[in-house]
Amino acid sequence: MPAPIPLHELTFRATKAGGPGGQHVNTSSTRVELWWNPRTSPSLTEPERTRLVSVLGHRIDGDGWLRLVSAGTRSQLKNREAVTKRLQKLVAEALVPPKPRRKTRPPRSAAENRLKAKKRRSATKAKRRTPLRDD
């Protein structure tokens, strides 16, 4: 598991959240956006950076920034903690190397069973055909 991302690399921005909440939602900035640039992060090794950019490439914008948003609670602090945890989890999952694929072959019995099933099906269809007449 990689080391946690230092907070000084993260940029937070609080904005007004939409949705229910009455007057409270109109006056408080509780929605939190987290911005992090994995391409320039000094806390990543070069192989980690390459893996992250390839796995999370669809979530990274043209300037190299990864953006996550949290607006689940009415507390800015809780949203900030939630989005930080999500980033840590996202990065940890992206850095897990893929399991190497082991070549396998189907067993001989499976091939034999498939051929037997084809013969059975062929025989069933052959019985449905109209017999040839000897005129």
- With respect to residue 109, please indicate whether it lies within any of the assigned structural domains: no
At residue 111, the pLDDT reads: 96
Q: What CATH number is given to the structural domain containing 37?
A: 3.30.160.20
Is residue 117 in some structural domain? Answer: no
pLDDT digits (tens, 9 = 90+) for 39-64: 888 888 899 889 988 998 898 888 88
Q: DSSP class of residue 60? A: B
pTM of the model: 0.68
- Which of 30, 10, 13, 31 is CA-nearest to residue 88? 10
Taking residue 95's Cβ as centre, other Cβ atoms within 10 Å add up to 17
- On whether residue 19 sits in a domain, the answer given is yes
35's enclosing H/E stretch is strand 31-36
Note whether residue 105 is domain-resident: no
Residue 3 has pLDDT above 80, yes or no: no
pLDDT, tens digit, for every residue of 66-86?
999 998 888 889 999 999 999
Rounded Cα gap, residues 112 and 119, in angstroms: 11
Question: Does a structural domain hold residue 99?
Answer: no
Residue 1 has pLDDT above 60, yes or no: no
Pair of tokens at residue 12? 């937070």
Concatenated DSSP letters for 83-123? HHHHHHHHHHHHTSPPPPPPP----HHHHHHHHHHHHHHHH
Split into its structural domains, the chain has a count of 1
Q: Which tokens sit at 48? A: 């980690």
The answer to whether position 133 is within a domain reads no
Residue 52 in any domain: the answer is yes
Count the alpha carbons within 13 Å of 53 in the hemisphere toward its beta carbon. 17
Domain membership of residue 124 (yes or no) is no
Q: Which alpha helices (H) appear in 17-98, and where do they start and end?
A: 23-27, 46-55, 76-94
Domain containing 69 equals: 7-94
